[in-house]
């Protein structure tokens, strides 16, 4: 029997009961006695029975599966969000299905379709860098499946979201750099069709204006905010006749790329050029010098996204009004920007 796929009928034949009794016992049905439930569970384990979650979902209308879509799971930022989601979901009897888009529009669409086919009860998603067409997300909403965005969101879709105040975080970084005596602050900006990078650029510009500093477009470099992107952007800025004395990167990774170039050229950080990032990735406290950055309360972000899903599930019989949650950013100052010690 171990050589074939075990079915409910196999368990039923072993115990001398009906397949429907086995099914109810595995679902903890109140009309099935405790002794029968115990015998069924024990026999199912002996036979290595694999519960068909999709079939069960079709029968009872809920799968107890929650899908989470991340750009990449190997960054502390997103792994911390996953932890936050799982901590709450597991306590509520839910299993979490994790998919990675790798910031690819095509992979994101395939992942969304796979989650829908898996009969997940809801989807938590952070939009891929390449995504500019949101029809696949509208498909989720049209299927009446709760969709909650976190971090990278699309405000045009009528759904809940959890974000950090990216504008305020960027403003705080620039204020800190000005306080440290920086007067020519450059910005590594991300793709501007992504909301978080729009807000960080807006915060950067408004903070400069508030301190009577000009917004010099030469000092704003839009790129993919990866390690090599930061390196190339730093080289570009150093080639200017009047280079900056500070860098505010919308990503910790690009900020580290900038520091690597500065070290190679024996330019003192922060003495000659201060560098700050955004996201508080795990490595930021370990690099030399440790990187000033913005903490986005990622574990809390994950829990809040999961909470919004469960709230929507509870009110499924009623009209659910989407909610937008905004977390306060936390400036973490470290040696990469501390000119005044």
Asked if residues 238 and 206 have their Cβ atoms less than 8 Å apart, the reply is no
- Flag whether pLDDT at 208 surpasses 60: yes
Other Cβ atoms closer than 10 A to 5:
10
Contacts of 177 (CB under 8 A, 6+ apart): 185, 246, 248, 274, 276, 337
Model pTM?
A: 0.81
pLDDT, the chain, mean: 91
Query: In terms of pLDDT, which residue wins out, 141 or 316?
Result: 141
Please name the residue that has the structure tokens 């000659």: 272
| Residue 1 confidence (pLDDT) | 41
| Residue 90 confidence (pLDDT) | 87
| Residue 52 confidence (pLDDT) | 64
| Residue 2 confidence (pLDDT) | 43
- Flag whether pLDDT at 56 surpasses 70: no
| Residue 218 confidence (pLDDT) | 96
Look up residue 66 and give its two tokens: 């929650």
Look up residue 14 and give its two tokens: 């072993």
Q: Tell me the per-residue pLDDT of 58-94, one tens digit each, with 9 for 90 and over.
A: 556 678 899 999 999 888 889 999 999 999 998 888 9
Output the 3-class SS for the chain: CCCCCCCHHHHHHHHCCCHHHHHHHHCCCCCCCHHHHHHHHHHHHHCCCCCCHHHHHHHHCCCCEEEEEECCCCCHHHHHHHHHHHHHHHHCCCEEEEEECCCCHHHHHHHHHHHHHCCCCEEEECCCCCCCCCHHHHHHHHCCCCEEEECCCCCCCCCEEEEECHHHHHHHHHHHHHHCCCCCEEEEECCCCCHHHHHHHHHHHHHHHHCCCCCCHHHEEECCCCHHHHHHHHHHHHCCCCCCCEEEECCHHHHHHHHHHHHHCCCCCCCCCEEECCECCHHHHCCCCCCEEEECCHHHHHHHHHHHHHHHHHCCCCCCCCCEEEECCEEECCCCCCCCC
Q: Tell me the per-residue pLDDT of 239-284, one tens digit each, with 9 for 90 and over.
A: 999 999 999 999 999 999 999 999 999 999 999 999 999 999 999 9
Count of alpha carbons within 13 angstroms of residue 8, beta-carbon side: 15
Q: Tell me the per-residue pLDDT of 8-29, one tens digit each, with 9 for 90 and over.
A: 888 889 899 988 888 888 877 7
Euclidean distance between CA atoms 116 and 190, whole angstroms: 30
Angle between helices 34-46 and 8-15 (to 10 degrees): 120
| Residue 182 confidence (pLDDT) | 97
Euclidean distance between CA atoms 41 and 19, whole angstroms: 13
Euclidean distance between CA atoms 180 and 150, whole angstroms: 33
User: Across-strand partners of 185?
Assistant: 246
| Residue 92 confidence (pLDDT) | 85
- Flag whether pLDDT at 341 surpasses 80: no
| Residue 93 confidence (pLDDT) | 84
Q: From the centroid of its chain, how far is CA 262?
A: 30
Set out the domains of the chain in order of their start, with CATH numbers: 8-51 (1.10.260.40), 60-164+298-327 (3.40.50.2300), 166-296 (3.40.50.2300)
For the chain, the C-alpha Rg in angstroms (whole number) is 25
């Amino acid at each position: 029997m171990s050589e074939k796929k075990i079915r409910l009928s196999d368990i039923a034949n072993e115990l001398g009961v009906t397949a429907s009794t086995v099914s109810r016992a595995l679902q903890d049905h109140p009309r099935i006695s405790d002794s029968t439930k115990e015998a069924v569970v024990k026999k199912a384990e002996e036979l290595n029975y694999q519960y068909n979650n999709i079939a069960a979902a079709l029968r009872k209308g809920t799968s107890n599966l929650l899908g989470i879509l991340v750009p990449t799971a190997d960054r502390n930022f997103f792994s911390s969000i996953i932890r936050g989601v799982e901590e709450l979901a597991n306590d509520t009897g839910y299993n979490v299905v994790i998919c990675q888009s790798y910031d690819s529009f095509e992979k994101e669409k395939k992942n969304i379709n796979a989650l829908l086919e898996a009969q997940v009860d809801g989807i938590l998603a952070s939009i891929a860098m390449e995504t500019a067409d949101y029809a696949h997300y509208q498909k989720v909403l049209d299927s009446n499946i709760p969709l909650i965005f976190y971090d990278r969101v699309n405000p045009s879709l009528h759904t809940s979201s959890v974000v950090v105040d990216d504008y305020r975080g960027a403003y705080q970084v620039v204020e800190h750099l000005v306080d440290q005596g920086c007067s020519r602050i450059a910005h590594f900006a991300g793709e501007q069709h992504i909301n978080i990078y729009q807000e960080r650029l807006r915060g950067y510009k408004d903070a400069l204006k508030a301190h009577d500093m000009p917004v010099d477009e030469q000092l704003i470099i839009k790129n993919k905010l990866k390690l090599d992107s930061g390196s190339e952007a730093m080289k570009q800025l150093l080639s200017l006749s009047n280079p900056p004395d500070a860098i505010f990167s919308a990503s910790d990774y690009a900020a580290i790329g900038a520091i690597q170039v500065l070290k190679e050229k024996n330019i003192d950080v922060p003495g000659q050029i201060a560098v700050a990032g955004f996201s508080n990735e795990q490595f930021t406290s370990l690099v030399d010098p440790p990187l000033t950055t913005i903490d986005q309360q990622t574990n809390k972000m994950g829990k809040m996204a999961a909470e919004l899903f469960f709230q929507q599930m509870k009110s499924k019989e009623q009209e659910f009004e989407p909610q937008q949650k905004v977390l306060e950013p936390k400036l973490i100052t470290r040696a990469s920007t501390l000119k005044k010690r």
